[in-house]
Chain A
């Protein structure tokens, strides 16, 4: 794990990527900093600048995540990693830690902006730090998505473009969920689609009819049971479901200066899920 971590860090800093990423962040955040804080004489860095620059994650994060696994597959160096006495989980964690270290270094540089404000006015350091924590956790979640997408392809460009689109989509989830029909029957229809999808996944991975049907029946049973026990959860269920994926929503809490434990747990589990999916995708490629 340490070997992978060191190699990745070395790779970032011997190529242009690390500098490109850091420079991109510093310049973009700097523009917003000048607009909000300098021109308007505001010291609330985490309240204005950080939320405003979130959108740029969709452009900057793919720079550091696109090559993570796509490049290894393209250059066939995954053959070295996967035949070495080290588990895929450790490879993935080693790589992930390297990316977030790079991100963390960038955030440390960004801290210079509120530090500059410190000389000209009162900076509420607690809220700035909490804001940065939220910024970091949200970035880490999006990096996990980028990593996952990189494990799906061996083409870096495809990986970058898909990651950018997916990250943008995650930012727009709020707008999408606001415009969804709220009635319970749509939620039930959606649950039905999910159950059918699960059945198909079962069928294609096992090629057996019986377990797929059983899985389907369990799914239908669960939905029916939930409906009879507590029909209320189906009201606006679709929007609730989509909101669960909205990383931007949670970030608002940190911007407001709240050190929200549930949001922190949410981000950590979000990262965990996507890293697990990455490991699973890499493992699965070996079976095909």
Chain B
């Protein structure tokens, strides 16, 4: 349905997209995942024909976006990162305009506008000025506009960014509701969103695809590392000395000490089950082991690992792990903060 080959986009000397390849089959719901500035929006803008690529090709349903733009654009409904709304129009007149712009036949226009308003649940706001709508409702109007003409392909660029948590859930529900009737590409920098809605994930970073699979396979494939959490009776020095001699231990961290029992979280460079091995190791040294449990890497960790790898390629592996955990915490904090600020704004809007 969508075939992207060797896509390159340069802004002057800056390479935003470097040889990106995408194949999206009909009916798939694909999540384009990557940190901010990874090239997601650029890629989507090229696929929809808003900007042109420096080189490479985009084929929509067999039509090249550069050679046959009309045919290609007709089969796409696009919701850009900032919904392209005219603030001085009412919801109804805006949707009528977009329907006409997209070439929906005159007779079908009222019914079509009514249909998309119903799907996105904005029928009661039809006569409101768009400038008076809250951020969440504006996003819905943008979605409704993208759905007009029932295009087989939907491209949604960060559809939930800047919304408050309840609006995020609503928009996600909406997308899940109509997604099965379309081929969808959805971009996000939030992993949970993509893994919840999409059946296929493409992780991009620095303008390249770094991984591509179903959410389950992705976490399986990249979990050649694993976490083991142990509770051992003993002190830090003794336990550390023992762990230092084990070849498959990548790094370890000490947690709380309760009644002489120390919690240790260990990162292994293998996904094999080493629980028994570790147990006997400490048991052999007369150190009672209270608990051993193993967890594979979560999808979140896979994502961070993949997107960080390129940047920290030169730094030592040990420090890389440290910086990763730090970066996770930082970005989490950032995200919460920015969400809060945006919530405030949208409340003011409302």
Contact = CB atoms under 8 A, between A and B. Distances in A.
Interface of B: 11, 45, 48-52, 69-71, 73-74, 76, 78, 80, 82, 84-89, 93, 97-98, 100-103, 145
B46 to A, nearest CB: 10
Interface stretch (A6-14, A57-65, A123-131, A230-238): A6-14
A14 B82 contact: no
B78 A81 contact: no
B56 to A, nearest CB: 14
Nearest to B129: A14
B97 A287 contact: no
Interface in A59-81: 75-81
Contacts of A87: 69-70
A15 B80 contact: no
A76 B87 contact: no
Contact of B73 (A6, A85, A286): A85
A79 B86 contact: no
Contact of A76 (B48, B52, B76, B84): B84
Nearest to A82: B50
Contact of B100 (A2, A78, A287): A2
Given A76-B80, A76-B82, A79-B50, A84 B87 contact: no
B93 A287 contact: no
13 contacts: A3-B100, A11-B86, A75-B84, A76-B82, A79-B78, A79-B82, A80-B84, A80-B145, A83-B50, A84-B101, A85-B70, A86-B103, A286-B51
A10 to B, nearest CB: 7
A22 interface: no
B88 A83 contact: no
Given A85-B74, A286-B51, A77 B100 contact: no
B78 A286 contact: no
The range of chain A's interface size is 20 to 34
Given A11-B88, A286-B51, A84 B73 contact: yes
CB-based closest 10 A-B pairs = A3-B100, A80-B84, A77-B84, A85-B73, A83-B48, A85-B74, A3-B101, A79-B80, A79-B84, A84-B101
A117 interface: no
A39 interface: no
B29 to A, nearest CB: 20
Contacts of A84: 73, 98, 101-102
A287 B49 CA distance: 11
A262 interface: no
B58 to A, nearest CB: 12
Contacts of B48: 83
A7, A11, A75: most-surrounded residue (chain B CB, <10 A) = A7
Contacts of A40: none
A288 interface: yes
A284 to B, nearest CB: 10
A287 B102 CA distance: 23
Given A82-B49, A83-B49, A77 B85 contact: yes
Contact of B103 (A10, A81, A85, A286): A85
B70, B85, B87, B101: most-surrounded residue (chain A CB, <10 A) = B101
A288 B86 CA distance: 25
A16 to B, nearest CB: 11
Contact of A86 (B71, B86, B101): B101
A93 interface: no
Contacts of A152: none
B70 A75 contact: no
B145 A75 contact: no
A81 B85 contact: no
A4 interface: yes
A10 B129 CA distance: 14
Contacts of B86: 7, 11, 75, 77
Nearest to B149: A85
A79 B89 CA distance: 17
Nearest to A77: B84
A83 B93 contact: no
Given A77-B84, A77-B86, A83 B76 contact: yes
Interface in A27-81: 75-81
A4, A79, A81, A83: most-surrounded residue (chain B CB, <10 A) = A83
A55 B150 CA distance: 51
Contacts of A4: 101
Contacts of B103: 85-86
Contacts of A82: 49-50
B43 to A, nearest CB: 14
Contact of A288 (B11, B50, B84): B11
A3 B48 CA distance: 20
A15 B76 contact: no
A91 B180 CA distance: 33
Nearest to B75: A85
Contacts of A78: 84
A285 to B, nearest CB: 8
A287 B45 CA distance: 12
A26 B21 CA distance: 59
Contacts of B101: 3-4, 80-81, 84, 86
Given A11-B89, A79-B45, 10 more contacts: A10-B89, A79-B50, A81-B84, A83-B49, A83-B76, A84-B101, A84-B102, A85-B103, A286-B51, A287-B51
A4 B86 CA distance: 12
Contacts of B89: 7, 10-11, 14
A286 B49 CA distance: 9
